[in-house]
Structure 1
Amino acid sequence: MSNIIYIGYEFKVNPLQPGIEILIAELGYSGFESFVENETGVTAYIQKEEWNESILEDVQILNSDEFEISFTFKEIEQTNWNQEWEKNFNPIVVDDMCSVRAPFHDKPNTKFNIIIEPKMSFGTGHHETTHMMIQHILKNDMADKSVLDMGCGTGVLAILAEMKGAKPIDAVDYDNWCYLNSMENVARNNCQYITVIEGDATVLKNKKYDIIIANINRNILLNDMETYVSCLNENGSLLLSGFYNDDIPMITDECEKHLLKFEEKLERNNWVSLKFIN
């Protein structure tokens, strides 16, 4: 079997946060499949056969006035990605109740123990938005509630919802890699009530849920808010994240336009998560 050749990009990012998180998310959508964070930024890898000279054209953060980002790149021979991933992925614990770890980590003493292999999918629990969504799920009654995890990434939020008694659960993501990764992680955690769906908000037609979890980004949330509200059962809850403090007025205005009432705000390193009810 011939070696796979990768192109490795070394990005220097200032300020590091939230620059690295935004950069990784945008690079993932552009086809990069592995990331290793370091003290000055992040190294990103893409298979040479998937690479082209305009690969960074849609990476908008590179043109942002808010961040200084420089990079170099070079060809790299085949790398043991599992080994690299093991070195750089640490287990997390949220509120001493929920752990998110890889199969090779020791099992911590927490009530909820989620095992994932995130690959390039978003949602390990390390990012502020996923962390806050886990906090919301831990605090809210999930027993026998129908749940939508919109933009499910690794499936970690849907998995925790089932562990807390929710059923049935739909986990939706338009990215094929996330869809496949969620399928793997749902099976790995022996979940019985989660249906993973590849698609966007158009797949939600005629569906109803008691709780909708949407951890995406501001523009998609605003665009799809009407769909989410139409899918929300009476006395339902809408949990939103993927945006900053400065975005709150815009998100709140859109929710209130659809007669949703604000109930709770969580904040972590300028990222925000909001809970609304109808």
Structure 2
Amino acid sequence: MSTPYVQLIFTLEPVQPTTEILTAELAQIGFESFVDTEAGMEAYIPKNDWNETAFSQIPFLKNPDFSIQYTVNSIEPKNWNEVWESDFKPIIIEEKCAVRADFHDPISVDYELIITPKMSFGTGHHQTTYMMLQHILDLDLDEATVLDMGCGTGVLAILALKKGALKADAIDIEPWCYENTIENAGLNDCKNLTAFEGDSSLLKDQKYDLIIANINKNVLLKDIPVYASCLSKSGILLLSGFYSSDIEDIKNVCNLANLDYSTHFEKEDWVAVKFIKQ
């Protein structure tokens, strides 16, 4: 059923990490769709859920370290499936892996991932997701146990399973990510993917061969010791969601947790880093 929406168009400086932080804040008050732009982002919320007072009280909007400008528009009811179909383009990683929606034609590659494009992050288009897919393509995951933290669409866990992982857990604090991961697991016939709504507090007494965490830097710095405690010996930790200038801070925390730096990819100042547990 078509629903009237409110659209907010943001001009942000710097674009990152402002977009990432603002997306998380807006999701908390009911915004359900986000589109990255060159200047910032667009955010959409059903008109019945729009609360201008709740929006104006978001503390991050007044942070003096960031420039956040926006306009508010009312969007008439439309077929949002058609909107997403026109905006969401398939991507191919290293000629081995393709990420597409169910309305796209099949793509002949080793690993084809079908993702319902209900949000911009987690379709492979963002630099961090793209690089994490690259890392997973390079790994031998036969019979591996996998954790995808901050799973978004679940795309990383899905690729791990298609590469031979035995099972994968996917965790996200946002309910719409949790629900979207379940939907995408079904689209990809990933019966061994289990999604959870929550955070690292769910990881007590768990063990994995591979942990993937594409989250913002502050969350990673806090949770790296938890991830390390859940890794099997010689297990692999893939981290992204931060810039090349942040690598040393990440390395320092990983070293204290007995995680050795292995290698990293870099794309437009974003990085995805591989660590191995001693």
Q: SS state of the match for residue 72, structure 2?
A: strand
Q: SS state of the match for residue 9, structure 1?
A: strand
1:206 aligns with 2:202: no
Partner in structure 2 of residue 184 of structure 1 = 183
Shift of 1:263: 0.3
Could you tell me how far apart the structure 2 residues matched to 1:87 and 1:188 are? 20
Paired letter, 1:251: I
Could you tell me how far apart the structure 2 residues matched to 1:71 and 1:190 are? 40
Shift of 1:7: 1.4
Report matched runs for 1:233-252 at 5 Å: 233-252=232-251
Paired letter, 2:148: D
Could you tell me how far apart the structure 1 residues matched to 2:178 and 2:120 are? 9
Partner in structure 1 of residue 26 of structure 2 = 27
Alignment check: 8 A CA contact 1:24 1:35 kept = yes
Change beyond 3 A, Cα 1:114–1:256: same
Alignment check: 8 A CA contact 1:30 1:59 kept = no
Partner in structure 1 of residue 167 of structure 2 = 168
Report matched runs for 1:45-60 at 5 Å: 45-53=44-52, 54-58=54-58, 60=60
Shift of 1:210: 0.6
Partner in structure 2 of residue 122 of structure 1 = 121
Report matched runs for 1:195-234 at 5 Å: 195-234=194-233
Report matched runs for 1:151-162 at 5 Å: 151-162=150-161
Could you tell me how far apart the structure 2 residues matched to 1:37 and 1:226 are? 32
Partner in structure 2 of residue 139 of structure 1 = 138
Change beyond 3 A, Cα 1:232–1:111: same
Alignment check: 8 A CA contact 1:28 1:120 kept = no
Q: SS state of the match for residue 74, structure 1?
A: strand
Alignment check: 8 A CA contact 1:13 1:69 kept = yes
Q: Deviations over 1:123-168 (max 9, x none)?
A: 1100111101100000011111111111111010011000000012
Paired letter, 2:193: I
Paired letter, 2:97: C
1:82 aligns with 2:81: yes
What do you get for the CA RMSD once the two structures are aligned? 2.2
Alignment check: 8 A CA contact 1:170 1:197 kept = yes
Q: SS state of the match for residue 117, structure 1?
A: coil
Could you tell me how far apart the structure 2 residues matched to 1:210 and 1:44 are? 36
Could you tell me how far apart the structure 2 residues matched to 1:59 and 1:103 are? 38
Return the TM-score normalized by structure 2: 0.91
Could you tell me how far apart the structure 1 residues matched to 2:95 and 2:214 are? 22
Q: How many residues align?
A: 276
Change beyond 3 A, Cα 1:263–1:38: closer
Alignment check: 8 A CA contact 2:7 2:75 kept = yes
Q: Deviations over 1:105-127 (max 9, x none)?
A: 11122110000103137311001
Could you tell me how far apart the structure 1 residues matched to 2:59 and 2:188 are? 34
Partner in structure 2 of residue 261 of structure 1 = 260
Q: Deviations over 1:52-75 (max 9, x none)?
A: 223154373773545x44221132
Change beyond 3 A, Cα 1:140–1:187: same
Could you tell me how far apart the structure 2 residues matched to 1:158 and 1:185 are? 10
Q: SS state of the match for residue 206, structure 2?
A: coil
- Structure 1 segments, 4+ long, off by >6 Å, are none
Q: SS state of the match for residue 55, structure 1?
A: helix
Q: Deviations over 1:80-117 (max 9, x none)?
A: 11111111110011111100000111112211000010
Partner in structure 2 of residue 272 of structure 1 = 271
Please say which of residues 33-42 and 200-209 is displaced more in the overlay.
Answer: 33-42
Alignment check: 8 A CA contact 2:244 2:270 kept = yes
Paired letter, 2:225: E
Report matched runs for 1:83-98 at 5 Å: 83-98=82-97
Q: SS state of the match for residue 55, structure 2?
A: coil
Percent sequence identity over aligned pairs = 51
Shift of 1:193: 1.4
Unmatched 5+ residue regions in structure 1?
A: none
Could you tell me how far apart the structure 2 residues matched to 1:121 and 1:17 are? 14
Shift of 1:192: 2.2
Shift of 1:19: 5.6
